[in-house]
Amino acid sequence: MSGPRVHGLETEYGISLLGVPAAEVPHPMYLANHVVRTYLESIGFGQGRWDYTAESPLIDARGFTLPRERASLDQLTDTDQGLGNAMLDNGARLYVDHAHPEYSGPEVRTARDAVVWDRAGDAIMLEATRAASAAIGHEIRLYRNNTDSKGASYGTHENYLVARAVPFERIVRDLTGFLVSRTVVIGAGRVGIGQAGQAAGFQLGQRPDFFETEVALETTVHRPIINTRDEPHALRRRWRRLHVITGDANQAQVAGWLKVGTAALAVRLVEADRAPDLRPLRPVEAFRAISHDPDLTRTVALRDGRAATALDIQQAWLDACRGLDDLGTEELALLEAWQRVLDDLRVDWRATADRLDWAAKRLLLESFRARDGLSWDDPKLALVDLQYADIDPTRSLALRLEQAGRLRTLVSPAEVEAARRTPPGDTRAWARGRIVGRFVDQLLGAGWDGLTFAGEGGRGIVRLELTDPLAGTRALVGERVERATRPADLVDLFPATFAG
């Protein structure tokens, strides 16, 4: 069984305010809201009009719904908190999530496009941050990282469309080993061990120390390796959205491409029920152990009694993926790049510093350590770690490496610039982004799977349903959407509900 490939990335940004005494620094939620609203107002979107009625954060894929009285406040993402929250004209969502500005990219069909529109999010956030800083007279900085090293973690989440017919139990059984081992490829690197970085050292990933269980509904507490939120943002009887929360925020484009592309291949294996049986005996411990082993030699116990390194597990998944039917051009390229990275890691991790974040960052850190005689607990190294993640190219160490040709690129600045205001053409994001951009003044509410507009003369409402991620593409509806002079002109293109 193999369904269509549709992916999406979400990035919560670390945020800080400079030049203000610590006692006067406002709550991060205020800062995040200021950044988000500044951008929305600059493009004429006001505060935004997100439609919360389609949100269902408490439905669990294991077959039950968590009662609201038992849910934590962080889980109640279906309530309006009065913060900036909008669908953008490039098909993405920009909002405040748990005191962080978040950019949730539009649905795309390729891993490369995921990188393009993810980078567009950085460009949007950089513009927003500069304008927001000017407005308050103090510099706000944003970071593509996943922890403040003071005990807090924030997410970079991935989403993969999966056929509803695939049993969720199979996803749990098969995918755990892939997710805990892939840190050797997609880890962003981190100075410090433990949630607060209380132990000295360097590790591969930013997120593993914050995971506490194998399977659960939560995403901010008791974090699970397999998240069970059953919120498909699509036709429920046909699709589920696999919400992956274990990944790191990547600055390296190749690492980001491999993150999405190899996971999509792994999902294909799970759908086909052909995944390798490499389940860790203790997944949470294995996740941390792999991250804490930058020399890549540690083995983890498997449930069948064997032991394997992360490289062994990744190789087994790669080998199994080679046997998938109808591999496309990008998938074949991903397999080749994946194999080259694993081969290089076996010989010398330094050889991957042009593609992988943790290797590029470690190489920088090791050079500072050698030059200045620094130990791993020296605060200067923590600052290097943070500066690597800065999204401003005038400060970001990662982007300087990229500009110098020491980090490989896959996408061009022109593509990223276009993606700031243009949605991808081969998913419903195209119709959603274009319709929102053209008729934002009439928009009453926007969600991933539907748009609600005011009726003629402001009387009544019209809701356009976008429950099929593969409908609403430029090829299918482009000409009609561009010719429309009002939302009512589109009611025969999408299922529509009228009221009033």
Looking at domain 7-418, does it have CATH number 3.30.590?
yes
The pLDDT, as a whole number, for residue 92 is 98
Name, of 213-222, 456-465, 467-476, the range with top average pLDDT: 467-476
Q: Which two tokens stand for residue 379?
A: 């605060």
- What is the Cα gyration radius of the chain? 22
Report, as an integer, the average pLDDT of 340-353: 98
Task: Specify the pLDDT at position 498.
Answer: 34
Average pLDDT, the chain: 94
Element (H, E) at 385: helix 379-389
Amino acid code (one letter) for 35: V
Domain range summary for the chain, segments of one domain joined by +: 7-418, 425-499
Contact 177, 303 (CB under 8 A): no
Tell me the CA distances in angstroms from 378 to 192, 207, 372, 373, one per residue in order: 10, 21, 11, 10
CB of 216 within 8 A of CB of 61?
no
CA 44 – CA 41 distance, rounded (Å) = 5
Over 60: is that where the pLDDT of 499 sits?
no
What's the pLDDT at 115?
A: 98
DSSP string, 258-318: HHHHHHHHHHHHHHTT------BSSHHHHHHHHHT-TTS--EEEBTTS-EEEHHHHHHHHH
What is the reported pLDDT for 389?
Answer: 98
Q: What is the pLDDT of residue 497?
A: 40
**What angle do helix axes 168-181 and 253-271 make, rounded to 10 degrees?**
150
User: CA-CA distance, 21 to 42, in Å (whole number)?
Assistant: 29
**63: exposed, middle or buried (Cβ count in 10 Å: 0-12, 13-18, 19+):** exposed
CB 48 within 8 A of CB 84: yes
Pairing state of beta strands 85-87 and 93-97? antiparallel
Letter string b/e over residues 332-363, b meaning 16 or more CB atoms within 10 A of that residue's CB: eebbebbeebbebbeeebebbbbbbbbbbbbb
Rounded to whole angstroms, how far apart are CA atoms 122 and 128?
Answer: 10
Please choose, from the candidates 315, 283, 256, 303, the residue with its C-alpha nearest in 3D space to the C-alpha of residue 180: 283
For residue 221, pLDDT over 90 is answered with no
- Amino acid, single-letter form, for residue 434: R
What is the dihedral sign for C-alpha 246, 252, 255, 260? positive
- The HSE-up count of residue 115 (CA atoms within 13 Å, CB side) is 22
Across 109-117, average pLDDT: 98
- One-letter identity of residue 340: R
Question: What is the tens place of the pLDDT at every residue in 171-206?
Answer: 999 999 999 999 999 999 999 999 999 999 999 999
Q: Which helix (H) or strand (E) holds 366?
A: helix 357-372
Q: Which of 66-75, 216-225, 392-401, 417-426 has the lowest mean pLDDT?
A: 66-75
Q: Considering Cα of 104, then 147, then 58, then 4, what sign does the dihedral take?
A: positive
Per-residue tokens: 401: 């490496």
Residue range 463-471: average pLDDT? Answer: 92
pLDDT above 90 covers a percentage of the chain that reads 84
Q: What does the pLDDT average to over 273-297?
A: 97
φ, ψ dihedrals at 218, nearest 5°: -70, 160
Nearest to residue 241, comparing CAs of 222, 267, 277? 267
Catalytic residue numbers?
A: 97
Chain-centroid distance of CA 438 in Å reads 27
pLDDT above 90 for 220:
no
Beta-carbon neighbour count of residue 417 at 10 Å? Answer: 13
Which residue has tokens 């006692």? 23
Confidence band for 2, pLDDT divided at 50, 70 and 90: low
Q: What is the reported pLDDT for 496?
A: 43
Choose the weakest-confidence range: 187-191, 215-219, 269-273, 410-414: 215-219
Higher pLDDT, 391 or 73: 391
